[in-house]
Amino acid sequence: MKLLDRLLHRQEPPSGEIARERLRLVLAHDRANISPGLLEVLKDEIIAVISRHVPIDPEGVQVTYTEGPRVNRLVADIPLQTGRRPRGG
Amino acid sequence: MGARVITITSGKGGVGKTTVTANLGVALAMRGQRVVVIDADIGLRNLDVMLGLENRIVYDLVDVVENRCRLRQAMVRDKRLQELYLLPAAQTRDKTAVRPEDMVRVCDELRDSFDFLLVDSPAGIEQGFRNAVAPADEVLIVTNPEVAAVRDADRVIGLIEAEGKGPARLIINRLKPDLVRRGDMLNTDAVIELLAIDLIGIIPEDEAVITAANTGRPVAFTDNSLAGRAFHDIARRLLGEEVPFGPLKEPGFLGRLLRWMRAEGEESP
Ligand SMILES: Nc1ncnc2c1ncn2[C@@H]1O[C@H](COP(=O)(O)OP(=O)(O)OP(=O)(O)O)[C@@H](O)[C@H]1O
Ligand SMILES: [Mg+2]
C-alpha cells in the first residue's frame, strides 16, 4: 500500500492518519484543559521573564504540552542567543 | 440486584444512540432476556418510531414522574417479542420535567421484574444526559470514526468516570471498511488507543439500518444484515460470551444470493 502510494506520488498521508494525529493533539489539550491559546500566552510570558535575565532567541522558543505514562508535562524549549558560548568546553 | 441498567450515550448528536438502544433491546429480548428500553430524550421522542411502536403510546415518562399514571400503564409491549417493553419519552415537554432522582426511582421500581433496562440518552452533556446516566450500572458510549465524534466521546468518558459510573465501554458505529482499508477513515485500533477504553462492538455503515428506521423494524430482528449481526454480537458480549471481533466484510455473490433468498422467504410467511 505504502509503496503504491509512493509510486503514485501521493504526498499527503491518508486522511485517516491526519484525523488520528489531529485527535491526538486535541484530546491531549482537552484533557489537561490547556488550550493551544494558553500555550501561546505562557510562551510570551516565559520569553518576557527569561529575557530579563538571559539573552534568548524569542523566535525559537517552544512551549508544548505532552502526555506521559505517569505525568503530563509542559516542556519549554528556550534557545539562548547564539555567538556566546559558555566557557570550559 | 435484578436488572442491569445500561445507559447508551455519546456526547455528539446523531451518532446512533437510539439505533443502538432499539437494536440491543431487540437482540437481548430475542435471547430470552426481559428488557425495557427507556427513552430519556425528553422533548425529542425517537425510540418509539425506531421500534415502530409510535401508535401504541398512551402515557409517557413525564406522566409517570408527575403521577398521572402508574409506571406499568406507560410501558408499551412490543408484541413481536416475548419480553420487550418501551418506556416512551414525552414529546411536548422539556428535559427539566424529569430529574436524575426520578430516573433512579423509575429504574429501581423495574429492577426486580427485568433483566436489562436500556436507557437512551439525549445528545449533549446537560440535564438530559445527567438524567440518563444517574440510574446507570454500566455505560456504553457510541461514537463514529470521525474527529468531532471521538472528541466528544472523550469528554463524556471523562464525565462518566467523574460520576463513578465507569469504566464505560465503546461502540464504534458507521464504520466503512472500504474507507478504512484505503486509509481514509480512522481505524478501530486508533480510536481505542486514543480513547483508552474497552471496545464492546463495531457496527458497519449499513443501508439496512436506514430501511429499518423507515419501517420501524430494527435490523436486529434478522441476521440478514451486517449491522444486525453486529448488534447480536454486542448482545452476546453483554451476556458474558467471548465473541471475536470479526472482519466486517460484505458477503460475496453467494452470500448475497443466500441473503436475498432468506429475505424473500421472510416476506411470505
Ligand atoms: N450503522 C448505520 N448505518 C447507516 N445508518 C445509520 C447507522 N447508524 C445510525 N444510522 C442513521 O443515522 C441517523 C441517526 O441515528 P440515531 O437517531 O440513532 O442517532 P442518535 O445518536 O440517537 O441521534 P440524537 O443525538 O439526535 O438522539 C439515523 O437516520 C439512522 O438511521
Ligand atoms: Mg437519539
At B145-166, the pLDDT tens digits run 999 999 999 999 999 999 999 8
CA–CA gap between residue B24 and residue B96 (Å, rounded): 27
Residue with cell 448475497: B256
| Closest-CA distance of chain B to residue A31, Å | 8
ipTM of this complex prediction, to 2 decimal places: 0.81
At B59-107, the pLDDT tens digits run 999 999 999 999 999 999 999 999 999 999 999 888 889 999 999 999 9
At B155-207, the pLDDT tens digits run 999 999 999 998 999 999 999 999 999 999 999 999 999 999 999 999 999 99
Confidence tier at A89 by pLDDT (50, 70, 90):
very low
List, in order of start, the domains of chain B with CATH numbers: 4-267 (3.40.50.300)
- The C-alpha cell that represents B230 in the structure block: 453486529
State the CB neighbour count (10 A cutoff) for residue B176. Answer: 16
B145 in Cβ contact with B187 (< 8 Å): yes
Q: Tell me the pTM.
A: 0.86
Strand B4-9 and strand B116-120: the pairing is parallel
Tally C-beta pairs within 8 A across A and B. 45
**Which of B137, B193, B130 has the alpha carbon at shortest distance from B156?**
B130
**Which of B19, B15, B14 has the alpha carbon at shortest distance from B209?**
B19
Strand B84-87 and strand B76-77: the pairing is antiparallel
Residue with cell 439500518: B209
Strand B84-87 and strand B35-39: the pairing is parallel
Q: Which of B38, B209, B229 to mutate to test the pocket of ligand 1 (most atoms within 8 A of CB)?
A: B209
A30–B183 CB contact, under 8 Å = no
pLDDT given for residue B250 in this prediction = 57
**Local structure of A48: helix, strand or coil:** helix
DSSP state of B41: -
CA–CA gap between residue B148 and residue B129 (Å, rounded): 18
Q: Which atom of ligand 1 is nearest to the CA of B122?
A: 27
Of the partner residues A14, A22, A24, the one whose CB lies closest to the CB of residue B183: A14
